[in-house]
């Protein structure tokens, strides 16, 4: 009948049960306030108590919902230095935009970075798509990153044994702070990352990996079990894992991880090569994305600067809505309506 909003929806959803409530506590409080039965002070006190007392079925307190926490509140929860840096930078720049720099020439890449640098927190690259890539290009990219205050994440999607991974990530970490990788080879590959960062001996060790737990392309082969195991590995190796590449709002429970969500454009749909797109607001409010990857909607725009500015504003507004949306999150309301 009444959802007290103390974690019931989440607990049931985790067990494959969809709950429908006639009334939520938030709605009941609103009705009582409107009819003069409660004052605003009492309503605020009840809301604060409920939000601070989210519980599991066994009575243990549920950690604060990542989706309702502001980025600056999550910094201290992050075990990985790069995750702390990204969360802090998103709050400073009032941006949760990551631009995918998938363009044919280095000259075009530099031009676009000068136009969009002020609006982005992360620039995601595929360095091998530039035919004239060299260490000098990496140095130039780092200079631009310092000028405009953004982080470089190489979307390499490594997936090999630990010894190979160790060499691969060390090479990339020479010019990028982050890299994406698969977990197909299990713990050994993450041990390789950990050893690489340790051997670099470069305090404050602001390096890390994003584990690919889900993909935005149609008919991809990642299974539910693979996603679950990848999430478990992220927790196990939280000192080197910055976050997860993911599409599901309730996948990441630890507020110290950053959810990197690709497949976003100004209009939903897809291309003829299997990529699917959702809107910016859906990426944040329904998919639970923290850092949102936008590529062609910006890089192929006639005015990349204006496109980046508009996208940054839309994404940030969605984030503000998410963290200030009363007791019940947009995701929980969506699940309740399914």
296 is in an annotated binding site: yes
SS3 content of the chain, % helix, strand, coil (to 5): 45, 15, 35
Q: Are strands 258-264 and 269-270 parallel, antiparallel or unpaired?
A: unpaired
Given 3, 155, 166, 290, which residue is catalytic?
155
10 is in an annotated binding site: no
Contacts of 275 (CB under 8 A, 6+ apart): 216, 217, 218, 263
295 is in an annotated binding site: yes
Given 88, 118, 160, 282, which residue is catalytic?
160
Query: How many C-beta atoms lie closer than 10 Å to residue 117's C-beta?
Result: 18
275 is in an annotated binding site: yes
Is 128 considered catalytic here? no
Is 157 considered catalytic here? yes
Cα gap 160→180, rounded to integer Å: 12
Burial class from Cβ neighbours inside 10 Å (0-12, 13-18, 19+) for residue 51 reads middle
Helices 106-116 and 304-323 pack at an angle, to 10 degrees, of: 50
44 is in an annotated binding site: no
Cα gap 124→322, rounded to integer Å: 25
Is 44 considered catalytic here? no
**Residue 23 corresponds to which tokens in the numbers above?**
């009334």
Given 27, 47, 94, 157, which residue is catalytic?
157
124 is in an annotated binding site: yes
Residues with catalytic function? 155, 157, 160
Binding residues for substrate: 102, 124, 216, 275, 295-296
Binding residues: 102, 124, 216, 275, 295-296
């Amino acid at each position: 009948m009444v959802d007290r909003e103390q974690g019931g929806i989440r607990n049931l959803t985790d067990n494959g049960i969809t709950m429908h409530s006639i009334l939520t506590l938030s709605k009941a409080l609103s009705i009582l306030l409107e009819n003069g039965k409660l004052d605003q002070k009492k309503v605020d006190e009840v809301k604060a108590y409920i939000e601070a007392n989210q519980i599991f079925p066994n009575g243990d307190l549920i950690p604060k919902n990542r989706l309702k926490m502001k980025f600056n509140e999550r910094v201290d929860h992050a075990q990985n230095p790069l995750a702390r840096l990204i969360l802090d930078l998103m709050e400073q720049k009032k941006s949760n935009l990551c631009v995918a720099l998938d363009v044919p020439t280095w000259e075009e890449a530099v031009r676009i970075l000068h136009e969009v640098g002020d609006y982005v927190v992360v620039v995601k690259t595929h360095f091998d798509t530039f035919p004239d890539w060299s260490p000098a290009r990496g140095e130039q990219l780092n200079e631009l990153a310092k000028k405009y205050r953004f982080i470089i994440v190489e979307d390499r999607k490594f997936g090999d044994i630990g010894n190979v991974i160790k060499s691969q990530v060390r090479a990339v970490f020479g010019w990028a702070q982050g890299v994406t990788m698969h977990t197909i080879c299990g713990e050994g590959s993450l041990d390789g990352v950990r050893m690489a960062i340790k051997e670099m001996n470069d305090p404050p060790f602001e390096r890390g990996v994003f584990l690919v737990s889900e993909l935005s392309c149609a008919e991809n082969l990642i299974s539910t079990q693979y996603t679950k195991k990848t999430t478990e590995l992220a927790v196990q190796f939280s000192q080197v894992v910055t976050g997860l590449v993911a599409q599901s709002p309730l996948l990441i429970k630890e507020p110290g991880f950053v959810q990197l969500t690709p497949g976003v454009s100004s209009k939903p749909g897809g291309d003829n090569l299997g990529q699917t797109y959702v809107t910016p607001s859906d990426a944040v409010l329904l998919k639970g994305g923290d850092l949102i990857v936008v590529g062609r909607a910006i890089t192929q725009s006639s005015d990349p600067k204006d496109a980046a500015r508009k996208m940054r504003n839309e994404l940030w507004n969605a984030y503000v809505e998410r963290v200030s949306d009363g007791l019940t999150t947009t995701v929980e309301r969506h699940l309740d309506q399914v």
